[in-house]
Structure 1
Amino acid sequence: MAKFDFSELTKFEEDLLELAKDLDKGKHAKKFLRNSGNKLKRRTVNAAKSKTNKRTGNLIKGIKRGKPYKYYVDGSMAVRVYPGSPAFHAHLIDRGHRIVDKNGKEHGFKPGVHFFEAGAKEYEGQYYEDTQKFIDDLLDNHLL
């Protein structure tokens, strides 16, 4: 009858559980999400610059990266890029809007340029690579 030594497998299991506790605290994940959010913001700003003729800087300055937060539905962590000021009308440029005069008469529709979607789509492939590298680094640093 063969005997199996499970001591290394048990140590690996303990290391994985310890890593899961560290991830639950969120220190490593928050740093990764902040960096990813900054990269997404840069891509969004570049998309806004290329798709609009606005050169005053208010549109560009208004694009912000939020704080990493726990998503309320499933507890996963997320970060967002959004137009900063509620008074600033970046959503009108991004999604489009009706053209209305002061009397309320509609004169047409100005289509949106969708720079938030363009920035997200442009960063999507890089995000998967960054996530894979983050997981590999986390496992290498924690389990060795």
Structure 2
Amino acid sequence: MEFKMEGLTDFQRDLLEVAQKKLPKESFKIMRKIGSKARTQVAKDARIKVKKETGNYHKRFKRGKVFKDADNQIVVRVINNAPHAHLIEHGHRQVTNDGKEVGFTPGKKVMETGIKNFDNSGQYENMLSDWLDDLLDSGDL
């Protein structure tokens, strides 16, 4: 899932590019913070959508490592490493003990809607703009 930077001005986008080149460790640090906020938002949305306590599903939302992708963009992932998370996310067949299919449970799309809600909340842009302001105030840029 990718975040859109619609709330940033052109000047802030240019500053962000300079900061990513000049201060890569600081860029990774802010992306870890943003990823943690996104994980919290996704987990909160999951508790609303998935009412049933199914194993350790709600406890296993994690923020992945920050890395640079093929397009040289800094990326952080939000994942759920529960063994049955994909079944809740994408849906699954309902099968009896003798193998007869009796129905299909549609997926809840928890990750997709959680990331969209985080993206639409404006927290991403606010955190980035605050970070850029702090870098400018401290004289690091």
TM-score range relative to shorter protein: 0.7 to 0.9
CA RMSD of aligned residues (A): 2.5
State the partner residue of 1:9. Answer: none
Which structure has more helix as a fraction of its residues? 1
Q: Does 1:39 align with 2:34?
A: no
- Which structure: larger Rg? 1
Identical positions, percent: 40
Length, aligned pairs only? 124
State the partner residue of 1:29. Answer: 27
Q: Provide the TM-score with structure 2 as the length reference.
A: 0.75
CA distance in 1, matches of 2:55, 2:22: 39
Q: Does 1:131 align with 2:123?
A: no
Q: Which consecutive unaligned segments of at least 5 residues does structure 2 have?
A: 1-13
Q: Does 1:62 align with 2:57?
A: no
Q: Provide the TM-score with structure 1 as the length reference.
A: 0.73
Letter in 1 for 2:131: F
Query: CA shift at 1:56, angstroms?
Result: 5.9
CA distance in 1, matches of 2:84, 2:53: 15
Query: CA shift at 1:101, angstroms?
Result: 2.6
Work out which structure has the larger RCO, using CA pairs closer than 8 Å and 6 or more positions apart in sequence. 2
Q: Which consecutive unaligned segments of at least 5 residues does structure 1 have?
A: 1-15
Bigger mean CA deviation after superposition, 76-85 or 101-110: 101-110
User: 2:19 touches 2:27 (CA, 8 Å); kept in 1?
Assistant: no
CA distance in 2, matches of 1:139, 1:39: 23
Q: Deviations over 1:93-141 (max 9, x none)?
A: 1221111234332211101112112211111122122222222322332
